[in-house]
Chains A and B, each alone.
Chain A
């Protein structure tokens, strides 16, 4: 990092400290008539906003009247879908900003305005938003290296392509994969009702050990990345094991943090709705920003090509691993793309159907030709396409499965953050599933078009962007969000701790998904029925 950047970073940190202090001041000033510090965001919003929205009530009554008619209902659903898609698409462009942060804010706003907006727009709005995220999130992930947990599945090839000036290919390939995933998700409808429901019910009582198995394999399958140079056993061992040590260390720290924070939350009860946000911003967003600021170089010149390097064959190759990984995420709590893609990659890798082969020299005594099969060259595209498929099955599928209401799944079978956030305000009804399919299709088409346009814009403005600001401004936004929504100073403290933990895999080249142990270990322990005993054993209760 140059001295100029270090000074710039120091100024920003100083500004943040001052801003945070200023924000904290009103709560400690006894004379201020402002709301007490213990009030939640919803209550603070409620105080000011409801009065302003009263003028809307007559229009709301008119809307309710229109919605008795199917056409009016359809128009409202369409409006909800489009508004959700547009908002989701715009906010997803912010590096490090996760859709669940936005969804959390929207749910809290909904709690305030629920009497003023037709209920029928709620699910389409959120569905549109999450579909847009599945598509547009590729742009910050590829061009600004703003990694969330799931980016592990598609980060390496996309970053490599961006470095070679082919960011357009990366983005569009991911979009094509996501669109293919949309079609797969719709085609899976009979499978969802006739097979997945049974798998869901069979796995239900066994969830704890299935998550445990995934964790065991995940930790045990990280092989030493070092070459093992050295004259003694210990020298070879320590050279090779750096990443494994770092991975195991991260896993242990994240597990302990998870057991503590999920058993005895430090965030005030009124902010519990977004209690997990500081943790994941710390695990994924801030380490990426630090890494980007330290490693930053000028963005490479990008090219707009007429074609992308893939055809239907590649989509076909990517379909099976992408679908398996996506369904894993959609069906098991806490399993994310980074983890599931390791599994599906191990399971479905058919690259060696045709391995590297040695060919005779053209002239005797000259080079042996090592023939690299075409499949090797295509794996980059297959990887990105598969990542796109997984992404939509993970985020959208997990929410869509809430609407699969059958005799054995009367409450649906959805997983994922959005489902958890919406549970208190929304429950699906029979017939919603097919409306949601239409919503997904419309939102997908809009999002794919938006992806193409936004990618072109990004490529045009990328050379003119100040990359320091690109990373630092969203970070400031995230710090404000954590302060306001994630528990104030306590939330910032939690984010600081998890940033330290999340930085270990970044700087020691181990898997970042080890930090997901924060959720997975406590979930497995609690689902198995040991939560109370563990809490007593750790003196947390």
Chain B
């Protein structure tokens, strides 16, 4: 999932601890408030930060395929790739291949595809694209330098045969949630265009096929609950140390507290020092938990159990519906927690505490204002005053239920209904465009020119029919 999704989820989880929210609020009486919730957010994105900012640089590929920006040679790249696969098959030694992007300018990149067949690879260079991945028409290389294809002796496969107890557990849960697994499909093609290129790992398995491992450095050691706990230990230790320091400062032993005593006494107390590490761990925990709902999974117990498991395959990490709905839910719940633990300005919980007496009050008010309704309102007021008030806890939670229904359930319902209405329309329009493209290609009979016609159309905003004319 997106970094921001993990970030707000971590903060949301931490906001369910009343003491955390209370110590974070500025009471306005001159006392200082805590920044503890920053830890939940920071640790919430830490696993991906470690992967993309650190981990990937520790994964040195045995083979690097770096296309020449001026004269790319797809055949050479395909041959090199085939050599690696054959070596893995013959020696049984795993290898990694790093593809690099081809940058032509500040906002110009040469896009290429890596398309896998069971026993072959096709490298195909496309148009120049912008950083927004929009192709510029007419910039594809000439046909003789556009595509390279090489065959290898061993078959590629996308799902591993080798699975341990953790993977078995994940598969069991996935099958309970989603039904039996679909047969594994072919290895999916990749597009390499902007920023960094992908790395692929290859490993020969017992059936003689080569397992294709997409981003072998991703979600391994960094996505582990054990590592998450270990990373929160410094937070625990520091918070405890600062709390001790603050305690000494409060006890008047300023010489022992040193010059930091004044600062630490504002931030830490002996009652709350443990919360800092706990909140950090919550952020980390929820990141790994959320990633397990995707396709790649994680190495949950690294270093105790190192292999990366599969995921539950419930959502795609890039699915905007999942990301948006989780973010909106997390933000709404965080605001709700902030209000119920500190500010208490949302009226519904208070309203239900006075229910139904407040109905009686309103009925009296309106019957005086609108005498023609008095016959209806007066009995209502009488009834409301005669009924005993609701249990305060029940009344408060009724108010919370109304709040969450209004601001979470209904907006989410509308959002999903809207997307369900929108997506088929987008897909239908795209299908129409694709069919027209095929007609276009057949009419023109020259693929390299015909392919450029579609980007031309979209970039200029005219209708496709105009281009075909």
Contact = CB atoms under 8 A, between A and B. Distances in A.
A371 B430 contact: yes
B459 A217 contact: no
Interface in B75-127: 100-101, 103, 107, 111, 113, 115, 122, 124, 126
Interface stretch (A12-20, A218-226, A479-487, A492-500): A218-226
B38 A350 contact: no
Contacts of B318: 352, 355
B399 to A, nearest CB: 14
Contacts of A51: none
Nearest to A157: B132
A160 B147 CA distance: 30
A366 B144 CA distance: 11
Contacts of A376: 132-134, 458
B320 A351 contact: yes
Interface stretch (A26-34, A40-48, A141-149, A232-240): A232-240
A220 B320 contact: no
Contacts of A507: none
Interface string A520-537: 000010011110011011
Given A225-B195, A377-B134, A359 B32 contact: no
B313 interface: no
Contact of B197 (A201, A223, A227, A355): A227
B7 A309 contact: no
B343 A199 contact: no
Interface in A278-322: 307, 309-310
A244 interface: yes
Interface stretch (A93-101, A340-348, A467-475): A340-348
Given A367-B147, A371-B430, A223 B53 contact: yes
Contacts of A534: 263
The size bracket of the interface on B is: 35 or more
B57 A236 contact: yes
B354 interface: no
A362 B339 CA distance: 60
Interface stretch (B22-30, B171-179, B270-278, B369-377): B22-30
Given A366-B447, A530-B263, A352 B319 contact: yes
A232 B60 CA distance: 7
A457 interface: no
Contact of B42 (A220, A225, A307, A347): A220
A56 to B, nearest CB: 45
B52 A224 contact: yes
B258 to A, nearest CB: 12
A217 B4 contact: yes
A363 B189 contact: no
Contact of A213 (B37, B57, B451): B37
A202 B343 contact: yes
Nearest to B4: A346
A417 to B, nearest CB: 23
B305 interface: no
B460 A309 contact: yes
A198 interface: yes
A206 B26 contact: yes
A227 B320 contact: no
A212 B36 CA distance: 10
A375 interface: yes
A162 B85 CA distance: 47
B298 to A, nearest CB: 19
Interface string A184-205: 0000000000000011011111
The size bracket of the interface on A is: 35 or more
A408 interface: yes
A529 B430 contact: no
B35 A346 contact: no
A528 B4 contact: no
Contacts of A310: 461
Contact of B429 (A307, A362, A366, A374): A374
Given A201-B345, A346-B2, A377-B134, A529 B32 contact: yes
A368 interface: yes
Nearest to B102: A227
A377 B433 contact: no
B60 A231 contact: yes
B442 interface: yes
Interface stretch (B227-235, B286-294, B390-398, B419-427): B419-427
A489 interface: no
A229 B338 contact: no
A407 to B, nearest CB: 10
A209 B134 CA distance: 38
Contacts of B338: 202-203, 206
A236 B101 CA distance: 14
A529 B433 contact: no
A372 B133 contact: yes
Given A348-B324, A370-B126, A372-B135, A198 B4 contact: no
Interface in B438-452: 438, 441-442, 447-448, 451
Nearest to A159: B107
A358 interface: yes
Interface in A349-407: 349-356, 358-359, 361-363, 366-377, 379-380
A379 B64 CA distance: 33
B11 interface: yes
A392 B49 CA distance: 34
Nearest to A529: B32
Interface of A is mostly: helix
Given A213-B41, A224-B53, A371 B26 contact: no
B58 A368 contact: no
A244 B263 contact: no
Interface string B43-56: 00100010011101
Contact of A356 (B57, B133, B263, B335): B133
Contacts of B458: 372, 374, 376-377
A379 B11 CA distance: 30
A240 B195 CA distance: 10
A205 B25 contact: yes
A67 interface: no
A212 B38 contact: yes
Interface in B14-28: 24-28
Given A209-B24, A236-B57, A529 B339 contact: no
A367 B146 CA distance: 9
Contacts of B26: 205-208, 527-529
Nearest to B131: A156
A142 to B, nearest CB: 15
B116 to A, nearest CB: 11
A223 B54 CA distance: 11
A228 interface: yes
A223 B194 CA distance: 13
Contact of B66 (A156, A206, A209, A229): A229
Contact of B3 (A203, A221, A359): A221
Given A205-B343, A347-B327, A529-B266, A354 B430 contact: yes
A216 interface: yes
A368 B122 contact: yes
Contacts of A374: 429-430, 433, 458
Contact of B113 (A223, A358, A380): A358
A533 B342 contact: no
B426 A537 contact: no
19 contacts: A198-B339, A198-B346, A202-B345, A206-B26, A209-B38, A221-B4, A225-B195, A229-B66, A236-B57, A309-B460, A347-B323, A352-B318, A353-B321, A359-B434, A362-B442, A373-B426, A376-B458, A380-B132, A527-B26
Given A213-B11, A353-B321, A371-B437, 20 more contacts: A156-B131, A201-B345, A202-B345, A209-B24, A212-B35, A213-B7, A221-B45, A224-B196, A226-B196, A227-B101, A307-B461, A348-B324, A350-B320, A359-B437, A367-B146, A367-B147, A371-B430, A372-B134, A375-B426, A380-B132
**The 8 A-B residue pairs with the shortest CB-CB distance in the complex, in nearest-first order:** A529-B32, A309-B461, A377-B458, A346-B4, A205-B25, A350-B320, A236-B57, A237-B57
